[in-house]
Structure 1
Amino acid sequence: MDVIINLLQWFIGLGSTVFLPLIIFIIALVFGVKPGKAFMSGVTVGIGSIGLNLVLNLLSGSLGAAIQTMGEQYGVALNIMDIGCGVGGPLAFSTTIGILLIPISLLVNFLFVALGLTKTLNVDIWNFWFPAFLGLLVNAVTQNFVFGILATVVAVILQWFLADLFQEKVSNFFGYPGIAITHMMALSGVVFAIPVNWVFDHIPGLNKLNADAETLTKKFGIFGDTVFMGLIIGVVVGIFAGYDIAGIGTLGMSTAAVMKIMPKMVAMFMEGLMPVAEAAKEFTSKRLNGRQVNIGMDAALTVGHPTVMSTSLLLVPISLAIALVLPGNKVLPFGDLAFFTFGICLMIPYFKGNIVRAIIGCSLYLVTMLYMSTWLAPTITEVFALANYDVGTTGLVTSVLCGIWPAGLFVIIANYLGIVGVLGIGVVVIVLMAYFKGIRSKKAVTE
């Protein structure tokens, strides 16, 4: 067992820009892609991943530093530290639960695909960290390691179900055929967006307002352009952070550059994935009775969309304002501010790409995350303690983007019903999977 854990830790230690191309290469070969083409697919995905990381590092480095300065100036009364979801991966994969989840998830995923319970073949190994994090929360609540392992399995099954449920809408909106987004933080927001958008549809005036990024550009010219919006947001944040003229200008240009470069990096990522997605479709058509399989990937593929980027940037000042006035909230958004895009990206298709709906809806969603992350803070702090992970503070820590309903659900169920309740979640999800499998089968017959 120790040998397996050490081997998996070594593999994860290679970094996502190394192990992801390897995984894509291997899966491409399995699906019958010629070795040369499979190799270039993996390399291209790796290049796209590096490009995305560079842009995100630019965003988090420049905007993140300004945001931290703002937080120090305006958030002294909020005493729970938002450590950010960025430490989630290192935390999860520094634990036995996180490492063991990798082979367990892959094996169970292949089984569920073969049984037709899911159409998602999840290769986004890095983001296994969130199901592992849910398992660690259960471990912290129950003080039982085995219960934590079982909870991670339930969590990945829930992840595949949500990915299947929303795949068609998300794929059509972003133009990614054969791809399913398996990022749990992104998937969770859709559950909130669907009923909220229904409410928007029934509000006079708002239901007639169409304000997507393309419409704004046509109507307002340069003032509706996402690059210009990024420039303005960067300048405004720089002013509130107390920067000098040079600092304000640099931050504005950096934010504008992110808005321009990000879609190009996503396009390169997809260039590498498409041959694999097409081969997977052909492979399953021949060998799995025509059953469709979608390749599960990171939400990073969606962050280049203009409405996603504009909304996530506008949420930075909005979130700080909400946190300061929200009764009962004890968290100032801090570590997660530069990563809001991963929490709200899949909500955008359900808001029809409408930036006004997106800003209002995502702001409301942020309120729920602030309350949830405040409530979860003691348990999240306990998770870090169990993992012997140094967070650099003796107080309570949390993550705004981890303050989502799956985390709350697992903690509440584990607290009141124990592992029986957590396994009950798994049973319900599997039953729903079987139900939707039956619906798909009937639909295929009628077509």
Structure 2
Amino acid sequence: MSYILDFFKIIQDLGPTVMMPIIICIFGIALGAEKGKSARAGLTVGVGFIGLNLVIGALSTNLGPAVEQMIERFGISLSVIDVGWPATAAIAFASVVGMVIIPVCLVVNIIMLLTNTTQTIDVDIWDYWHFAFTGALVAVVTGSQAMGLVAAILNMVIIMVIADYTASGVEETLGLPGVSLPHGFTAAYAPIAIVINKIIDMIPGIRDIDINMEKAQKRFGVFGEPILIGTALGIIIGIVAGYEYGDVLKLGITMGGVLVLIPRMASLLMEGLLPISDAASEFINKRFSNRGKVYIGLDSAVGVGHPLTLSVSLILIPLTVFMAVILPGNKVLPFADLAVIPWMFVLITPVVKGNGFRALINGVVVLAGGLLIATNLAPLMTEAAINAEYTMPSAGTQISSICDGANPLTWAIVRLNDFGWIGMGIVAVVAVALALINRRRIIKEAKELKSAQQ
């Protein structure tokens, strides 16, 4: 077992830019694709991830100081520090649950595929840390590592079902055919967006408001393009932060560049994935008649580049800081994870079908709720960090994050475990019920596909 854990620890330490090309290449060969095509596909995916990381790094590097200056300018002081997703992932992987999460989740994915309870082959194994984080917090609550591991597994099952359910929207709205997004943070917001969307549909007048990026681009021409929208939003953030005019312009142009470059890096990823996706579909269709369509599960970074996702996120960054100050009960100072707000919207965007007004309403709701969730989970995250020997910012300080400290699904699973095995039983019933409903949908879809082919 120690050798197995050491092997997966090496994979984990490689990070997604190295790990994903290797996995994609091996996966392609296993599915029957040519070795040369598989190698090229893997390397192209790796280059796409490097490009995405560079652009996202530019986003974080430039937004971070602006947010910090904004906080100092308005004298904002809150007691819980947002340490960001890299620290959160490190805490998750350093936990006992995190040490075994990769092999366990691979087994769970295989079982779900064999039982027709998912259509997703989740190759994004580095992001299994989201499930490990839930498990680490449950282990703190219950005092049981076994309970933590069970919670992590159930979290994955629920996310895999959500990924299947939203895959058609990912294909249609985000332009990512054959891809699903079983991302523990991103997928958690899709059910909330569905509920909010239905509530808006019941309100006369409000339901007719549609701020559509594609329509805006046609109406305003060049002024509706992502490059100018990003530049304008960057300038506004710079002004709110109190930057000098030169720095305001630099921030604006950088944000405009981010809105242009992220979609192009995502398209490079898709170029690498298409032959693997085709090979997977052919492999499944030949060997299994009741599987329906098969999706490659990826990091939601591939969908961040949608103009609506980025535009609404840039609007919400200063708004989140403002909400943190005025929201009763909040103790979290949002900072390090403000740059991950776009990840919240990757699946919200398909649910609202590109409607900017509805996306903005969703954003205000999930971020306000997320700040309160992050406040509530801060003591548990702090204890999990201490258990993982994470270096705390200062003695007595509590930490949290937007990703995954503000995750509503993580919060629900953790808080249900306040009731011990009864709470875990409720989570298990929900996860199994969703998996069985998904199985029925998959089999029905497969029959319809088979009939259409005949």
User: For the superposition of Structure 1 and Structure 2, which TM-score range results when normalised by the shorter chain?
Assistant: over 0.9
Pairwise mapping of residues 14-413 of structure 1 onto structure 2 (< 5 A)? Answer: 14-74=14-74, 76-291=76-291, 292-394=293-395, 395-402=397-404, 403-413=406-416
Residue 310 of structure 1 and its aligned partner are, at CA, apart by 0.6
Query: In structure 1, what is the Cα distance between the partners aligned to 2:75 and 2:308?
Result: 28
Residue 95 of structure 1 and its aligned partner are, at CA, apart by 3.0
Residue 254 of structure 1 and its aligned partner are, at CA, apart by 0.9
Per mean C-alpha deviation after superposition, the further-off stretch among 176-185 and 426-435 is: 426-435
Aligned-partner SS, 2:210: coil
Aligned residues of 2:170 and 2:177 also touching (Cα < 8 A): no
Query: In structure 2, what is the Cα distance between the partners aligned to 1:239 and 1:82?
Result: 23
User: Do the aligned partners of residues 75 and 280 (structure 1) sit closer, same or farther apart at CA in structure 2, a change above 3 Å counting?
Assistant: farther
| Identity within the alignment, % | 35
User: Do the aligned partners of residues 246 and 77 (structure 1) sit closer, same or farther apart at CA in structure 2, a change above 3 Å counting?
Assistant: same
* Partner amino acid, structure 2, of 1:440: I
Aligned residues of 1:369 and 1:401 also touching (Cα < 8 A): no
* Partner amino acid, structure 1, of 2:64: G
Query: In structure 1, what is the Cα distance between the partners aligned to 2:362 and 2:437?
Result: 30
In the alignment, which of 417, 421, 424 is matched to residue 422 of structure 1? 424
Per mean C-alpha deviation after superposition, the further-off stretch among 41-50 and 421-430 is: 421-430
Aligned-partner SS, 1:121: strand
Structure 2 unpaired stretches of 5+: none
- Give per-residue Cα distances to partners, 1:121-164, cap 9 Å, x unaligned: 11111110100000001111112222222222222112212112
State the Cα RMSD in Å: 1.7
User: Do the aligned partners of residues 431 and 67 (structure 1) sit closer, same or farther apart at CA in structure 2, a change above 3 Å counting?
Assistant: same
Per mean C-alpha deviation after superposition, the further-off stretch among 304-313 and 321-330 is: 321-330
Q: TM-score, normalised by structure 1?
A: 0.95
- Give per-residue Cα distances to partners, 1:198-241, cap 9 Å, x unaligned: 12223333322332111112223344322112112222222232
User: Do the aligned partners of residues 254 and 109 (structure 1) sit closer, same or farther apart at CA in structure 2, a change above 3 Å counting?
Assistant: same
- Give per-residue Cα distances to partners, 1:38-76, cap 9 Å, x unaligned: 000000000000000000000000112211221233353
User: Do the aligned partners of residues 178 and 443 (structure 1) sit closer, same or farther apart at CA in structure 2, a change above 3 Å counting?
Assistant: closer
User: Do the aligned partners of residues 24 and 216 (structure 1) sit closer, same or farther apart at CA in structure 2, a change above 3 Å counting?
Assistant: same
* Partner amino acid, structure 1, of 2:215: T
Aligned-partner SS, 2:140: helix
Query: In structure 1, what is the Cα distance between the partners aligned to 2:390 and 2:109?
Result: 29
User: Do the aligned partners of residues 9 and 88 (structure 1) sit closer, same or farther apart at CA in structure 2, a change above 3 Å counting?
Assistant: same
Aligned-partner SS, 2:346: helix
Per mean C-alpha deviation after superposition, the further-off stretch among 254-263 and 153-162 is: 153-162
Aligned residues of 2:17 and 2:46 also touching (Cα < 8 A): yes
Query: In structure 2, what is the Cα distance between the partners aligned to 1:146 and 1:338?
Result: 34
Query: In structure 1, what is the Cα distance between the partners aligned to 2:248 and 2:201?
Result: 39
Structure 1 unpaired stretches of 5+: none
Query: In structure 2, what is the Cα distance between the partners aligned to 1:23 and 1:34?
Result: 15
- Give per-residue Cα distances to partners, 1:337-360, cap 9 Å, x unaligned: 111011122101111201122112
Per mean C-alpha deviation after superposition, the further-off stretch among 392-401 and 333-342 is: 392-401
Equivalent residues, number: 446
Residue 432 of structure 1 and its aligned partner are, at CA, apart by 2.6
Residue equivalent to 1:3: 3
Aligned residues of 1:158 and 1:426 also touching (Cα < 8 A): no
* Partner amino acid, structure 1, of 2:344: G
Query: In structure 2, what is the Cα distance between the partners aligned to 1:103 and 1:130?
Result: 15
* Partner amino acid, structure 2, of 1:331: V
Residue 13 of structure 1 and its aligned partner are, at CA, apart by 1.5
Per mean C-alpha deviation after superposition, the further-off stretch among 304-313 and 387-396 is: 387-396
Aligned residues of 1:137 and 1:383 also touching (Cα < 8 A): yes
- Give per-residue Cα distances to partners, 1:267-299, cap 9 Å, x unaligned: 001110111111111100111225132111111
Per mean C-alpha deviation after superposition, the further-off stretch among 87-96 and 255-264 is: 87-96
User: Do the aligned partners of residues 75 and 396 (structure 1) sit closer, same or farther apart at CA in structure 2, a change above 3 Å counting?
Assistant: farther
Per mean C-alpha deviation after superposition, the further-off stretch among 34-43 and 174-183 is: 174-183
Aligned-partner SS, 2:403: helix
Residue equivalent to 1:438: 440
Aligned residues of 2:157 and 2:435 also touching (Cα < 8 A): no
* Partner amino acid, structure 1, of 2:399: V
Q: TM-score, normalised by structure 2?
A: 0.94
Aligned-partner SS, 1:81: strand
Query: In structure 2, what is the Cα distance between the partners aligned to 1:164 and 1:426?
Result: 19
Residue 94 of structure 1 and its aligned partner are, at CA, apart by 2.6
* Partner amino acid, structure 2, of 1:198: K
Query: In structure 1, what is the Cα distance between the partners aligned to 2:127 and 2:72?
Result: 30
Residue 405 of structure 1 and its aligned partner are, at CA, apart by 1.7
Query: In structure 2, what is the Cα distance between the partners aligned to 1:203 and 1:332?
Result: 34
Per mean C-alpha deviation after superposition, the further-off stretch among 274-283 and 9-18 is: 9-18
Aligned-partner SS, 2:321: helix
Query: In structure 1, what is the Cα distance between the partners aligned to 2:438 and 2:252?
Result: 47
Aligned residues of 1:75 and 1:332 also touching (Cα < 8 A): no
- Give per-residue Cα distances to partners, 1:301-342, cap 9 Å, x unaligned: 111111111111111111112222212212222111111011
Aligned residues of 2:159 and 2:188 also touching (Cα < 8 A): no
Query: In structure 2, what is the Cα distance between the partners aligned to 1:218 and 1:176?
Result: 23
- Give per-residue Cα distances to partners, 1:353-406, cap 9 Å, x unaligned: 011221122112111111111111111111111111113233111112321221
Query: In structure 2, what is the Cα distance between the partners aligned to 1:223 and 1:442?
Result: 45
